[in-house]
């Protein structure tokens, strides 16, 4: 059986264990316990997928999440007898997003990257400078989720100007430079990395898609 346990920011268990995420098993995402029967020894793989505002804390062999069996979200196990594994999700006050620019956006060598997040209904907003994560081949920033931001614009900035301001931008996603296009919806399905497309010569309005880092 595969199940989930969620904890709130105070460290207490939440009533619905799947509040913090889902379990992807056999190409299906489950929001309740998964029970499967096999007639012979086999290897099964399951993946824990966080909901927005939660982070994955490991797979455990007990519902109190005291005995950890794996740290990675993807779990592969050889089933020879009855097993119970629990995915642990913990509510987080931060969220990390990643951005993979196309080659046009990085060819100058004197650009830098920033992110502008905002709440569509109120306009409440905040700027973040992005840092390069060479191990993941992308740029990243971590935002405070208490602002309930639901839109993000990734920007290619003039590297000679350290201030995060639209006046210092060179390009942005997904709209026209210095235009008023609406930002990208911040995912709530567990994806966290926007990979920029190459349409329109790879500059403005070049599209892209969300994936997971």
- The pTM of this model reads 0.63
Integer Cα distance of 154 and 171 in angstroms? 9
The residue with tokens 């907003």 is 125
Cα-based torsion angle of the residue sequence 190, 194, 195, 199 in order, rounded to the nearest 10 degrees: 130
The string of pLDDT tens digits covering residues 176-206 is: 444 556 899 998 887 899 999 998 888 887 8
Domains of the chain: 2-91 (no CATH), 94-211 (2.60.40)
Burial (Cβ within 10 Å: 0-12, 13-18, ≥19) of residue 63: middle
The string of pLDDT tens digits covering residues 74-100 is: 999 888 888 899 999 998 888 899 999
**Would you say 155 and 113 are in contact if contact means Cβ atoms under 8 Å apart?**
yes
Which pLDDT value is given to residue 181? 66
The string of pLDDT tens digits covering residues 7-64 is: 987 789 999 999 999 999 989 999 999 998 888 888 989 999 998 778 899 999 999 9
């Amino acid at each position: 059986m595969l199940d989930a346990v969620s904890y709130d920011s105070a460290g207490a268990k939440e009533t619905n264990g799947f509040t913090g995420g889902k379990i992807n098993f056999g190409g299906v995402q489950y929001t309740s316990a998964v029970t499967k029967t096999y007639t012979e020894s086999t290897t099964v793989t399951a993946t824990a997928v966080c909901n927005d505002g939660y982070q994955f804390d490991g797979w455990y062999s007990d519902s109190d999440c005291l005995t950890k069996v794996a740290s990675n979200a993807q779990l592969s196990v050889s089933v020879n007898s009855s097993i119970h594994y629990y995915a642990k999700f913990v509510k987080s006050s931060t969220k990390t997003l990643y951005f993979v620019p196309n080659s046009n956006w990085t060819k100058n060598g004197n650009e830098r990257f920033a992110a502008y997040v905002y709440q569509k209904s109120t306009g409440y907003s905040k700027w973040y400078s992005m840092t390069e994560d060479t191990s993941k081949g992308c740029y990243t920033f971590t935002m405070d989720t208490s602002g309930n931001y639901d839109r993000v614009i990734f920007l290619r900035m003039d590297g000679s100007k350290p201030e995060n301001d639209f006046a210092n931008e060179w390009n942005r996603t997904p709209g026209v430079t210095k235009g008023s296009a609406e930002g990208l919806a911040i995912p709530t399905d567990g994806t966290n990395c926007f990979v920029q497309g190459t349409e329109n010569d790879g500059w403005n309005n070049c599209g892209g898609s969300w994936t997971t880092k």
